[in-house]
Amino acid sequence: MIYDLLVIGGGPAGYVAAIRAAQLNMKVAVAEEKFLGGTCTNVGCIPTKAWLASSELFDGIKNAKKFGISVENASIDMRKVKARTNRVVIRNRKGIEFLLKKNNVEYFNAHATVKSLHSAKIGDKEVEFKKLLLSQGSHPIKFPPFDVEGVLTSDEVFSLDEIPQHLLIVGGGVIGVEMATFFSTFECEVTIVEIMDHILPTMDADVVEILTNALKKRGIDIHTKCKTLSVDKKENGYKVVFEDVERFEKSFDKILLSVGRKPNVFDDVKSLGVTLDNRGNVVTDEHMRTNLENIYAAGDINGKYMLAHVASKEGIVAVTNMNGKESKINYSAIPSVIFTTPEIATTGKTEDELKRENTEYIKGVFPMSALGRARTLEFNEGFAKILADKENKILGVTVVGPMATEVLMEGVMAVQNGFKLEELVEHIHPHPTISEILMQATEDALGMPIDK
């Protein structure tokens, strides 16, 4: 059988592209050797947020007295948290499989090896195709001195059956700070080490300050500009030697290495002659095409943005172009969301980026503590920030606080569609809601704040 499209990889890029291709009347097959849903569904976004839902609820119980509620003897059963998380993951996997079947996409739960520009072997079956979408995803980076038995990455951390007493998290990026938030909720002593100047290295200083203070209030020990010199496995854990201002050592039950991911580019793809960049990512143009006419790549494998929502959009862009309709992805308003406490959500340009580019800009800021809805939630940390050019065109939006990840979408639409400050502020925002903070920050940018 000759398929119009073979998709290798059933993650957010692959399964979304397959469904869209089928909707466009293409004969489609998907090959996924592990589980449908890829990193996001199985060892990324979904299980992380399931864990964080448990820790957020537990946090609320611990602080219930603020709301006039007394709760005693609350405890965590990590095995039950894990069981619930597994149910959520399996439900998502089954949902994807149902959608593929509903759209007449043929699904192979087997390894696919590309043999030529128009043929592949899936398991023990030879197939032919007209177009190929590479969406094999990525894997966690692991390197010395962390190539020691038992060191966890984000792929293995969900196997834990109990909360460690002392946890080292190497890497203060998104995965690191989210996991630190979870474990610190349950009387786990968490240490974060980050080789860069601060945690969340791509975020503005005002965002980093809020989160750093919040993590320290939770008892998390943070070391920046810090190198790990050695890791020694002991009977009951690890002895680790670090260096920042001076050398020091600490002992831990568990270590989580969260320093990024690398694309899954195997020898079969390399032998085709697909162009790779110096980091090993498959190079694509704005249409998701590789240097080979019938081969496209989407998601983590192209290394542009390792985010599930970007991968899905790239998959749709690829399939649209395969069908002769020009489509490009707009990377100017990619939303980035972090599920810490407080939540962090950004889109468009950051203030640091504008400074590096020597771009003149207007800034509006409104504190979360002055917002009515935040007060009802007993939440005082955070703010919203609106950045615009000298003509008042909105360039970037940042929200730090409760529900920040939910209210950001208004900012995404504003940046992507080139809204001006005057246009955003004209929209009537419901009261009392967290979404009002974007209106308040916009008023501040215009020099006419009402509640500040």
Residue 431 has pLDDT above 90, yes or no: yes
- Angle, to 10 degrees, between the axis of helix 174-184 and the axis of helix 205-217? 20
User: How far, in Å, are 14, 263, 264 from residue 279 at the CA level?
Assistant: 22, 9, 12
Residue 408 has pLDDT above 90, yes or no: yes
Q: What is the pLDDT of residues 228-269, one digit of tens each?
A: 999 999 989 999 999 998 999 999 999 999 999 999 999 999
SS3 letters for 391-406? Answer: CCEEEEEEEEECCHHH
Count Cβ atoms within 10 A of the Cβ of residue 307 and give its class: 0-12 exposed, 13-18 middle, 19 or more buried: buried
> What distance in Å separates the CA atoms of residue 333 and residue 343, rounded to the nearest whole number?
19
| Section 139-160 average pLDDT | 94
Q: What are phi and psi of 110, to 5 degrees?
A: -160, 160
- Find the angle CA(311)-CA(286)-CA(319) to the nearest 5 degrees: 60
- 431 is a catalytic site residue: yes
Whether omega for the bond prior to residue 432 falls within 30 degrees of 0, making it cis, is: yes
CA atoms within 13 A on the CB side of 84: 12
| Section 273-302 average pLDDT | 96
Q: What mean pLDDT is reported for the chain? A: 96
| 400, 411 Cβ separation under 8 angstroms | no
Identify the residue whose tokens are 């939006």: 397
DSSP run (H or E) holding 100: helix 78-102
Identify the residue whose tokens are 């390894």: 111
Q: How far is CA 67 from the centre of its chain?
A: 32
pLDDT at 58: 96
> What distance in Å separates the CA atoms of residue 94 and residue 35, rounded to the nearest whole number?
10
Count Cβ atoms within 10 A of the Cβ of residue 309 and give its class: 0-12 exposed, 13-18 middle, 19 or more buried: middle
| 281, 261 Cβ separation under 8 angstroms | no
Amino acid (1-letter code) at residue 298 = A
| 322, 5 Cβ separation under 8 angstroms | yes
Confidence of residue 1 (pLDDT cuts 50, 70, 90): confident
Q: What is the pLDDT of residues 297-325, one digit of tens each?
A: 999 999 999 999 999 999 999 999 999 99
pLDDT at 452: 85
Of 111, 198, 287, 431, catalytic = 431
pLDDT at 325: 94
Tokens of 27: 């004969």
Confidence of residue 423 (pLDDT cuts 50, 70, 90): very high
Q: What is the pLDDT of residues 3-52, one digit of tens each?
A: 999 999 999 999 999 999 999 999 999 999 999 999 999 999 999 999 99
> What distance in Å separates the CA atoms of residue 42 and residue 5, rounded to the nearest whole number?
25
Confidence of residue 221 (pLDDT cuts 50, 70, 90): very high
Q: Which domains does the chain have, with CATH numbers?
A: 2-140+262-329 (3.50.50.60), 152-257 (3.50.50.60), 333-445 (3.30.390.30)
% of the chain with per-residue pLDDT over 70: 100
| 153, 27 Cβ separation under 8 angstroms | no
Tokens of 393: 């065109």
